[in-house]
Structure 1
Amino acid sequence: MKAMILAAGRGERLRPLTDHTPKPLLPVGGRPLIGHHLAALAAAGFDEVVINVAYRGDQIRAALGDGRAQGLPIRYSVEQPGALDTGGGVRNALAMLGEAPFALISADVFTDFDYARLVGVAGEGAHVVLVDNPAHHVDGDFGLDAHGRLVDAPPRRTYAGIGVYAPALFRAVEAQRFPLVRVIRQALAAGTASGQYHAGRWIDVGRPSALVAAREAAGD
């Protein structure tokens, strides 16, 4: 199974730390933030990772190389900063991802989620991981019914930036630039969206305080 890591963002809220270093390369627990995802994906048996890069993408490519040091092959989808948004970035990389459902992970979360839990889910739609609502997003995003289907109803939890998606969801969008939530809601409306809850560690590393929390959790 393939995975894609979204790593093209500017990291505005972490400035000035991100003025010279892309957010995925900020150190957490003795390795770059994105390195934790790569290690977890390799441990879960994933075959290959596609990483989209834009802002200071040359630094990411230089740091990670072809993936041999991380234990799984890496390919890069190069974008212009700010050009595609999250959903458009995935659509732009579909030729590298193939026809089977793939895992999609945001580089800027720090978590102990086991990526082996993503193998074999999604089918023709979307399968998302939900977590408890953080203080900066108390209203959450989606709910889950008793059968694991995604619903737009309370109690809502927060999308973890982790999921599995069918490529057809992105091909169906004609726009070049669009957010990932567009395809999630498309799958929800079609009845092909499911999810699971993760009760363990999850930190959205989008603010300086969250970076500190991630580093403390990692033993820094």
Structure 2
Amino acid sequence: MTLDFPVRAAFRALILAAGRGRRLGGGDQQPPKVLLRFGGETLLARHLRLLERAGAGRVSLVVGYRREAIEAELERIGRRGSVDLIENAAWQQGSVVSLDRAGHLFDGAAPVVLMDGDVIYDHRLLERLLGGCGPGTLLLDREIEPGDEPVKICVAGLQRIVDFAKRPDVTHDWHGESVGFFRFAPRLAVQVATAARALVAAGGDMTEYEASIRGLIRADEDGTVFGFEDVTGLPWTEIDVMDDVEKAQALLPSLAS
């Protein structure tokens, strides 16, 4: 198979998939969001297929809610032995706990790609992510819905990221929405894991994982550590509520996969 990506050193991929997705309804029988099906394929199977295509090394998955259902899907698609499962028994707490549970993967030995599990996306988003320059790369979409729900990448001038939050409090010139995918060079990956561990140790276990990245971004005063790739116009959506499921179904014909 011919790959669309340039040859790169293998990276580790970490998918966060421990939560229940309570806003989708369904109660305790609601499947984990990575098991939602689009075009006959679960989000999990799609993630693994596209990561393999992109040249990922080992893939790890943080699980919690209904772990057994995720294990069954890995068995069904023949990937049980090639994906490492990391248990987060405290999955009802903030997602920073999931990041902390996976901290041993951020050991400085390889680049790390961190991904929200509840996103359906065109494979070109991964290409942009892996092609980013600098130690840390985020994906930014200028087409952002108003309100506090989207996580915002705030930019001063044309390129310097100055804040990263749902409710930013730093003066900036413009912002876009974060896709929820990140690439960290080995040394920066260690810093991200250390920041997550510090947040949990300080009692911030109800915090979302973005807070650990935000602190490092705000400390990057000269803008040399973090950068972004603009993916405006490429199809993707995060799946939080039923309207997002319908949006994802409508996106299927436009996804290059």
Q: TM-score, normalised by structure 2?
A: 0.74
Question: What residue in structure 1 maps to residue 190 of structure 2?
Answer: 167
Partner of 2:4: none
Q: Distance in 2 between matches of 1:182 and 1:171?
A: 12
Determine the structure 1 residue equivalent to 2:60.
Answer: 50
- Count of matched residue pairs: 217
Q: Deviations over 1:163-190 (max 9, x none)?
A: 1231222213423223222122112122
Gaps of 5+ in 2: 1-10, 164-171
Residue 97 of structure 2 corresponds to residue 88 of structure 1: yes
Q: Aligned runs of 1:1-220 on 2, under 5 Å? A: 1-16=11-26, 19-65=29-75, 68-69=78-79, 73-82=82-91, 84-99=93-108, 100-114=110-124, 115-119=126-130, 121=132, 126-131=136-141, 132-134=143-145, 141-145=152-156, 148-152=159-163, 153-165=172-184, 166-172=189-195, 173-176=197-200, 177=205, 178-191=207-220, 192-199=225-232, 200-219=234-253
Structure 2 residue identity aligned to 1:189: R
8 A Cα contact 1:7 1:53, kept in partner: yes
Cα 1:66–1:27 shift into 2, 3 Å: closer
Taking a change above 3 Å as real, the CA distance of residues 20 and 204 of structure 1, as seen in their structure-2 partners, is closer
Match of 2:167 in 1: none
Consecutive unaligned residues in structure 1, runs of 5 or more: none
What code does the residue aligned with 1:174 have?
A: A
Aligned letter for 1:216?
A: A
TM-score by length of 1: 0.85
Structure of greater Rg: 2
| Stretch of structure 1 that moved more, 100-109 or 1-10 | 100-109
Note closer, same or farther for the CA distance 1:116–1:103 as it changes in structure 2 (3 Å cut). Answer: same
The whole-number CA distance in structure 1 between the counterparts of 2:58 and 2:19 is: 21
- Measured in 1, the distance between the counterparts of 2:148 and 2:242 equals 16
Aligned Cα root-mean-square deviation (Å): 2.8
Distance (whole Å) between structure 2 residues aligned to residue 208 and residue 142 of structure 1: 25
Alpha-carbon separation, structure 2, partners of 1:83 and 1:18: 13
The alignment-based identity, stated in percent, is: 24
